[in-house]
Structure 1
Amino acid sequence: MHSQVRELLSLFAMNPSAESHSIPLSDGNRIPLLGLGTYGDPRTTPKGTALECVKLAIDVGYRHFDGALVYFNEHEVGQAIREKIADGSVRRQDIFYCGKLWNTFHSPELVRPALERTLEALKLDYLDLYIVELPIAFKPGNDFYPKDGDGNYIYHHTDLCATWEALEACKDAGLVKSLGVSNFNRRQLELLLNKPGLRHKPVSNQVECHPYFTQPKLLEFCRQHNIVIVGYCPLGSSRDASWVNVKCPPLLEDELLVSIGKKYNKSSAQVALRFNVQRGVVVIPKSFSPERIKHNFHIFDFSLTEEEMKAIEALNKNIRFVELLMWSDHPEYPFHDEY
């Protein structure tokens, strides 16, 4: 059995707690199993929302924050973290921040400047984790979503290994502690893992993961290679038809999740989060609702039985909420492959 899985199982024998629920990464660092996603539509989210929500989350007990340059709110997240460090609530080393390399910065010479933009926005000295947000590259430039005159996205040739080497240099320079990826399929992970001269393995792969999309094959592949799965949309997703597959039924209304929740006096959302955490999948539910931020954190005072875990696994429909079909003609679009 792989050492990481062994340690994970022993961790659950001890039972993770609200105070201590981080698991090991293959590079010797650790990642908390529960984090707060900080994405909010920049066009509709009032200024200051992320600032207040991250401060509240730190007070509640969150120590892991998932952000990105393309969310346009890293300055608020960083300010919240710095204010809570300044008032003595936490130390920098208590906080785990994950930033993301956007599609327009895949060219090797743009990788470090992009990471430095995130550090400048946060006003922090280093990131805990920096990940390639998608395996698809866009035309470099100031426009994050470059389009031609006909409204088509302008793609750029992706050399994922060259991008990765530039990330390795950022880790060597002390700008980031751990490196990972997001939305990579097995083939794309293998490309990096088999890269000649690989110096730093990807420690994590952030992908959609919840009871309706349990990712069994990708999860097993990643376990074999000591790559932690970080699950986004762990509660399903918004019903925004512009980017979400609304054919997938609302996860939180699932009868099984609701009934298991009643047994433990928990919500279907708490059951869905606990399910992933209990199988070693990190979850990063996004919320800007103070009540939900508190609610989602309360998953360490109960545990699911083996039968309940199997029953929830059987809910898998292999349907994605987040299909990103607008980029499905990109040569590195990751979701054509089975996993």
Structure 2
Amino acid sequence: MASSITFQNAYKMPIIGLGTWQAQNEKEIEIALDAALEAGYKHIDTAYLYNNERVIGKVLKKWFASRKIKRKDLFIVTKLPQIGMTPEKVPHFVKKSLESLQLTYIDLYLIHAPVGFQYVDDETLFPMKDGKTVLDYSTDLTAIWKSLEEEVDAGRIRSLGISNFNESQVERICCMARHKPMNHQVEIHAYFQNKNLRKVCEKFDITVCAFAPFGSPGLNEFLKARGRSDFKTPQILEDPIVVKIGKKYGKSSAQVLLRFLIQQGIAVIPKSTSPERILKNIQIFDFELSLEEMNELAGLDQGDKGRIFSFIFEGYLFIP
């Protein structure tokens, strides 16, 4: 089982990474990153939106200074925020991420979502009016992509990617791009296997990375803190089929769900700040699911009914 996936441009991305969405407490992030790097993680996923790049940069600098790890051994992913979705703001936000992460280049830079928000300032990530997020209806994906390609030409980004795009948006970028999208980061888990979108990515030789591989159990608290207690994520970790397979191999439900995805060549970025869970999440290369078990897990797919991140505005899908 390969421990990485290879892009069209020959760069390799470790197939498992540490997700850091919702991780903003500085001490918590430091502990989580230290645990991940000690456990052997080489792939760290963040975003300007997550408001934790500066802390991640601080920890990386410490590890580089200790000579325990070299920059070339790590794969760092971050993302263009929705308030930066204009061609002239692209270099500004790339520069800010590089400065916060204390890096000279980003391994993979994603457009976080295919629609922009109206820009107020660098800190107002969700501009609001009358209780609603203010969208920028002039968002021009092709113009933004061309601006990102200049960042690749300048050496500040090695690979470009997309996140939360639909099928037609993927095709639009691929048909005009000089530097093709190398990776698409989207919601994929046993209950929502996103097969149609994955087929389009396969057509254009775009690798796929799954966020929320456990069904994002932490989303409940995220939404509750924002006044929404009406939504509950599905309990995929407690699914009888997942539990049964885990017992057979002496593995947790989380390890089974991750193995199910990486065995299909899908990268995963499980988010955790628990050192114990971070270690367990990467211990998925010492067992292999049988064809029968893969088919059982594939049978859990609920199609669009299983989608968790279903926030749609004018045909665009993006993280809330």
TM-score, normalised to structure 2, is 0.92
Q: Determine whether 1:28 maps to 2:10.
A: yes
CA contact (8 A) 2:23 2:29 kept: no
Cα shift at 1:144: 1.2
Query: Counterpart of 2:175?
Result: 194
Cα shift at 1:52: 2.2
Cα shift at 1:106: 0.8
Query: Counterpart of 1:57?
Result: 36
- Flag the 1:244–1:25 CA change in 2: closer, same or farther, 3 A: farther
Q: Which amino acid aligns with 1:155?
A: L
* Structure 1: 4+ residue segments shifted above 4 A: 241-245
Distance 2:80 2:13 in 1: 19
Task: State the secondary structure of the residue aligned to 1:207.
Answer: strand
Query: Counterpart of 2:149?
Result: 168
Note the residue ranges of structure 1 that are not aligned, 5 or more in a row: 1-14
Cα shift at 1:247: 5.0
CA contact (8 A) 2:310 2:317 kept: no
Distance 2:211 2:229 in 1: 13
Distance 1:217 1:244 in 2: 31
Note the residue ranges of structure 2 that are not aligned, 5 or more in a row: none
CA contact (8 A) 2:5 2:15 kept: yes
Q: Percent identity?
A: 39
Query: Counterpart of 1:294?
Result: 279
CA contact (8 A) 1:244 1:321 kept: no
1:136-182 deviation per Cα after TM superposition (whole angstroms, max 9, x unaligned): 1111221211112x222211121100110010010000001000000
Distance 1:172 1:146 in 2: 32
Query: Counterpart of 2:64?
Result: 85
1:171-203 deviation per Cα after TM superposition (whole angstroms, max 9, x unaligned): 0000010000000011000111112xx210101
Task: State the secondary structure of the residue aligned to 2:160.
Answer: strand
Query: Counterpart of 1:227?
Result: 206
Task: State the secondary structure of the residue aligned to 2:26.
Answer: coil
- Flag the 1:52–1:167 CA change in 2: closer, same or farther, 3 A: same
Query: Counterpart of 1:280?
Result: 265
Distance 1:127 1:214 in 2: 28
Distance 1:66 1:22 in 2: 15
Query: Counterpart of 1:12?
Result: none
Aligned alpha-carbon RMSD (Å): 1.6
Distance 2:45 2:73 in 1: 15
1:201-220 deviation per Cα after TM superposition (whole angstroms, max 9, x unaligned): 10111000111111112112
Query: Counterpart of 2:125?
Result: 144
Q: Which amino acid aligns with 1:308?
A: E
